Amino acid sequence: MQLFEDIKKSTQDAVETVFGKPVDIENIAIQHTRKDFDGDVTIVVFPLLKISKKPPEETAEMLGNYLKESVDTVSDFNVVKGFLNLVISDSYWVNVLGKITENVSFGIETTNSGKTIMVEYSQPNTNKPLHLGHLRNNMLGYSLANILMANGHKVIKANIINDRGIHICKSMLAWLRWGKGETPESTGLKGDHLVGKYYVEFNTHYQAEIKDLVSNGATLEEAEKTAPLILEAQEMLKKWEAGDSGTVSTWKEMNSWVLKGFDASYKTLGVDFDEIYYESNTYLLGKEHVAKGLDKGYFYKKDDGSVWCDLKEAKLDPKLLLRSDGTSVYITQDIGTAVQRFEDYKLDRQIYVVGNEQNHHFQVLFAILKKMGYAWAASNYHLSYGMVELPSGKMKSREGTVVDADDIMDEMVSTAKKLSLELGKLDDMPEDEREELFKIIGLGALKYYLLKVEPKKQMLFDPEESIDFNGHTGPFIQYSYTRIQSLVKKAGANYNNDNGYGYDLDPLEKGIIKLINQYPSIIKEAGDSLSPALIANYVYELAKEFNHFYQSLPILKLDDEQIAAFRINLAETTGRVIKSAMNLLGIDVPDQM
């Protein structure tokens, strides 16, 4: 923030002038003044005591007097123990607002950083629909990509479709056994829902077989490994990898159903991708790299023909890379895609947005890539996020108890419609515009609720709480934005965007300008820490501060047109920042609610 840099430089000059000794600017600690103290900027004087040779309070007092007398920006100060709280002049804040108003891209870095970053998110399996956990995953990845772009980086939004493996074969086998030729067209079901139905069907029959084997004397572990259905699914996987025409044909047909269903869900959610990878292609590439690693001595082969990686140096257990029958495991394709991406795009960084149940997987992957000698191995990062639960508990897709993403989105839109109609403010709005508004509110509530929590934290999703128009929610922020648009519309052409300084700022006006001024640094911090929650909570605080201002101070009903014009401009600029921040989160804001 420019203010901090200016105050640091002025403090550096003050220390040398007052105490006769230079200070490294890096040793000057500056922070925002706490809300319970008067002031805007706080200088922590403790690091300066070695130079001043005086107690903290006296050091702060001497510096404060110098800065107040010598720096136009500083209008007053107070000392609290070892903290010097500076009051920044009203004229400075008015000037800041004027510059922000003129900057149409305020907060967004327009200079290219020269860095290319790939953000991988979503990663669905083509044996079931997207679920609630995928919603958090997609919103974290999509918003993070937006935030990194706002920091000036080139960002590639990537998705890898897990469209092969034993789980896919389970759905295929169940459909062949019990599907009777059902299709999305014949059933009216989305393709991903239809295929997911047969994933559950497989598990139902599989569990019945296990129960039967156990009742006949087998152990549970033996039953799980020898049940006829699981053996048949494993055989199908071998056929698939061997290119068996019938198996491949079934896979292509069912895969196309699911992918079409995913596309519809992504469109509703409002996320997209620049690059989509398919495991059915990348697993082969991974096998090639494993073979090369074996030749170079990075890996070793056991007597049964399986290929492993020794990870003692990383304090990890050995990792299987190829089974004894030559089939690949999940990490095999991750090796292949990582190599391909860094070679294709010359990436500076790759971020995997994946749940925390995969923490160990990525530790192993990065250790393997390092062992293979890739200099960019350290540029990989796993953005590990906590699981999402509902008040009813965890979700298990194989048991058919998963909370479907499409159902959640539909429910949120329906709830938004119900609550909006109860308010009775949309009677004059055309039907098609109302339906679009319900979608904006409902999905905005969902997205905001998923993003306001720090990624690493596990979270409880409460649909009812998420759509409260008066809570810490997306609809509250959206409503604040529409209030601003209504205010600006009422003001019309009678008021110009006058930033002229002609009166003392009210503390509420000053508070909003200070918050707006923090926006660029919040974007940078969110990009550095890979946390969309920082943006989400910032924009809530801004909306809350604006509502306090709106309810406490007159705006349109003022005799002084200069003050009215200033406040309207302040409101309009606040609206711009709210809209910009919400867009970074992937959330739309309506003009009317």
- Separation CA 122–CA 396 (nearest Å): 18
pLDDT tens per residue across span 55-89:
999 999 999 999 999 999 999 999 999 999 999 99
Residue 537 sits in the same domain as residue 466: yes
Res 396: pLDDT: 46
Q: Based on the domain organization, do 353 and 497 belong to the same domain?
A: no
Q: Residue 591: inside a domain, yes or no? A: no
DSSP 161-219: EB--SHHHHHHHHHHHHH-TT--HHHH---HHHHHHHHHHHHHHHHHHHHHHHHHTT--
Q: Which two tokens stand for residue 142?
A: 């999509």
Q: What is the pLDDT of residue 566?
A: 92
Is a pLDDT exceeding 90 seen at residue 417? yes
Q: What are the Cα distances from residue 505, in Å, to 32, 119, 229?
A: 19, 43, 75
Distance CA 386, CA 460 (A): 10
Asked if residue 409 and residue 291 are part of one domain, the reply reads no
CB 6 within 8 A of CB 73: yes
pLDDT band at 427 (very low <50, low <70, confident <90, very high): confident
- Check residues 306 and 327 and name the one with the higher pLDDT: 306
- Residue that terminates a domain, selected from 399, 432, 456: 399
Q: How far apart are CA 590 and CA 558, in angstroms?
A: 28
CB 81 within 8 A of CB 121: no
Residues in the chain: 593
**pLDDT for residue 425 is more than 80:** no
Average pLDDT score over residue span 321-334:
87
Could you read off the pLDDT of 365-405 as tens digits, one per residue?
999 999 999 999 999 999 999 999 877 654 444 444 568 99
Could you tell me if 157 and 273 are in contact, meaning their C-beta atoms sit under 8 angstroms apart?
A: yes
Query: What distance separates the 2 farthest-apart alpha carbons in the chain?
Result: 92
**Average pLDDT of 561-582?**
94
Any domain includes 592: no
Q: Which of 125, 31, 145 is nearest to 84 (CA)?
A: 31
Residues 243, 309, single domain; the answer is yes
In a domain, 161, yes or no: yes
The answer to whether the CB of 385 falls within 8 A of the CB of 455 is yes
Q: Which residues of 540-565 are buried (b: 16+ CB within 10 A; e: fewer)?
A: bebbebbeebbeeeebeeeeeeebbb
- Specify burial of residue 147 (Cβ count, 10 A radius: 0-12, 13-18, 19+): buried
Nearest to 9 by CA among 24, 99, 46: 24
Specify the DSSP class assigned to residue 455: T
User: Tell me: the pLDDT tens digits for 335-373?
Assistant: 999 999 999 999 999 999 999 999 999 999 999 999 999
58 is in which domain, residue-wise? 2-88
Check whether residue 437 and residue 380 sit in a common domain. Answer: no
Between CA 337 and CA 278 the distance in angstroms is 10
Mean pLDDT of 500-510: 81
53 and 180 fall within a common domain: no
278 SS3 class? strand
What integer pLDDT is reported at residue 390 of this predicted model?
77
pLDDT of residue 486: 94
Domain of residue 419, CATH code: 1.10.730.10
168-184 pLDDT, tens digit each? 999 999 999 999 999 99
- Single pTM value for the model: 0.92
> Where does the pLDDT of residue 241 fall: very low under 50, low under 70, confident under 90, or very high at 90 and above?
confident
142 and 99 in contact (C-beta within 8 Å)?
Answer: no
Residue 385: which H helix or E strand, with range? Answer: strand 380-385
Answer yes or no: do 84 and 132 share one domain. Answer: no
Of the candidates 522, 517, 527, 521, the one whose C-alpha atom is nearest the C-alpha of residue 152 is 527
Residues 445 and 534 occupy one common structural domain: yes
**d(C-alpha 47, C-alpha 237), whole Å:** 65
| Residue 531 domain flag | yes
Residue, of 395 and 310, whose pLDDT is higher: 310
Q: Kindly state the average pLDDT of the residues 470-483.
A: 96
The pLDDT tens digits of the residues spanning 10-57 come to 999 999 999 999 999 999 999 999 988 999 999 999 999 999 999 999
As for how many domains the chain has, the answer is 3
Give the residue-averaged pLDDT of 326-340: 88
Per-residue pLDDT band for 280 (boundaries 50, 70, 90) equals confident
Report the DSSP pairing between strands 300-301 and 307-309: antiparallel
Query: What's the helix, strand, coil split of the chain in %, to 5?
Result: 60, 10, 30
> What does the pLDDT read at residue 395?
41
- Supply 567's token pair: 């406040």
**CB atoms near residue 359 (< 10 Å):** 12
Q: Is residue 103 part of a domain?
A: no
The predicted pLDDT at position 558 comes to: 85
* Single residue among 368, 399, 430 that ends a domain in this structure: 399
Percent of the chain at pLDDT > 70 equals 96
For residue 22, the domain's CATH number is: 3.30.1360.70
Average pLDDT value for the chain: 93
How many Å separate Cα 308 from the centre of its chain?
35
Q: Are 173 and 232 in contact (CB under 8 A)?
A: yes
pLDDT band at 282 (very low <50, low <70, confident <90, very high): confident
Q: What is the mean pLDDT of residues 469-495?
A: 91
CA angle at 59 for the pair 53 and 65, rounded to the nearest 5°: 140
In a domain, 116, yes or no: no
Q: In this structure, are residues 133 and 197 in contact, taking their beta carbons and an 8 Å threshold?
A: no
Whether residue 394 is found in the same domain as residue 413: no
163 and 252 co-located in one domain: yes
Cα–Cα distance, 93 to 287 (Å, whole number): 61
* pLDDT recorded at residue 501: 53
Which helix (H) or strand (E) is 245 found in, with range? helix 245-269
Determine the pLDDT at residue 393: 53
Q: Round to whole Å and give the CA distance between 125 and 167.
A: 8
Token pair belonging to 488: 């600006």
Q: Are strands 29-32 and 116-120 parallel, antiparallel or unpaired?
A: unpaired
Residue 359 shares a structural domain with residue 487: no
Per the listing, tokens 């697993």 go with 283
Does residue 15 sit in the same domain as residue 137?
no
Q: Please indicate, yes or no, if residue 108 is contained in any of the structural domains.
A: no
Domain assignment present for 97: no
| CATH (domain of 234) | 3.40.50.620
Higher per-residue confidence, 593 vs 155? 155
The stretch 443-457 carries a mean pLDDT of 96
pLDDT in the model for residue 399: 45
